[in-house]
Structure 1
Amino acid sequence: MRIATQKDKNLVTKVLHSSFVNITTANSINFVVKQDKNRSKRLLFLAEYMFNIAYSFGEVYISDNENACLLIVYPHNKKNTYKTICWDIQLAIKTIGFNKILKVLRREQQLKKYHINEPHIHPLVLGVSQEMQGKGIGPRLIKEVFEYHKHNTLPCIIETTSESNLKLYKRFGFTIFKKTHEFNYPLYFLRKDF
């Protein structure tokens, strides 16, 4: 595992795109990405946006074989700057689409409502290249990142829509503290203390 630099932006964007491009079921990614003929391009921009946010206000981890990445954010470090406002505007135009902006903003407010108010680590997304999924690369990267953070005092808060991810996170010591169906799909909020 290594921590990404700015030079890894294209690599991380490709891994995230590959990881989610063929998933068409209701989930957090598809809620944000406008579902039209430009979905793949919109997903690429979302991946780039997530890299920018994690790189600026957290860390981006890449597996040794460069087929998996884990993006984390420290929400208490996030700031609104001219640059982040520009990223948000571009996200609205290039990924969400004007028709869904209010819906996505309401969803973000709901998500924040369930997060804790104290400083914490928030894994934004885990991606594994499509051809490498199911080979244990994602769990291995999570294990390495947790080992890296073993002396950390901040709790880790994550949300997932996937039952398989839920099982994976429980294996790593996460416990569910909230479950909701407000967005027409199940959404679980989990916590792990190091």
Structure 2
Amino acid sequence: MAENNENLEDMSQEPMGFSDKVEREINNGIEADKLASEEEIAENQAIDEESFEMTAEEKLKIELAEMKDKYLRLYADFENFRRRTAKERLELISTANADTMKNILPVVDDFERAIKSFDETTEVKPLKEGVDLIYQKLYKTLESKGLKPMKTVGLPFDAELHESIAQYPAPNPELKGMVVDEVEKGYFLNDKVIRYAKVVVGA
């Protein structure tokens, strides 16, 4: 009976030791898995941080490329605008010259007819009247295009408008510094000086 009791105690103790061992192994496995998970989480965080840094750098590169592209497009647009404006300006000047020439051609025709009439008549008066009419016609044509003569004689000398080519002793003090004679007429074109008047100034 005593032996049976000892055997029963041994049998009852063996499963208890085995269970402890199993439980210990399970706990060890849980601890190992926990440590592995923590290491994996830390590694993933490091990878995420590195990925974030790379993403920020790439984002800056993309933004820089976009700004460079916008700059190049803007520069190209400006160059196209500059070329187009220059072309339009040249075309405008060419068209304006063509329009002026077209208006002057009838005057040229009148001069050609007047030259032919010189051989057909010996009377001076009709020729003079014809030339005067052609001059008036030419003057009105140019005036319609904005041409306007300067008034100089009797006005104070103005270096912005006049070119003094000589000085003449003024007959009275009031004429000192005044334009006393005009050698070559000056002209405005739309209120802009296109030829300075050559004048004689009282000294």
| Larger relative contact order, structure 1 or 2 (CA cutoff 8 Å, min sep 6) | 1
TM-score class, shorter-chain normalisation, is under 0.3
- Structure exhibiting the larger radius of gyration computed from Cα positions: 2
TM-score (norm 2): 0.21
TM-score (norm 1): 0.21
Q: Which has the higher strand share?
A: 1
Q: Which has the higher helix share?
A: 2
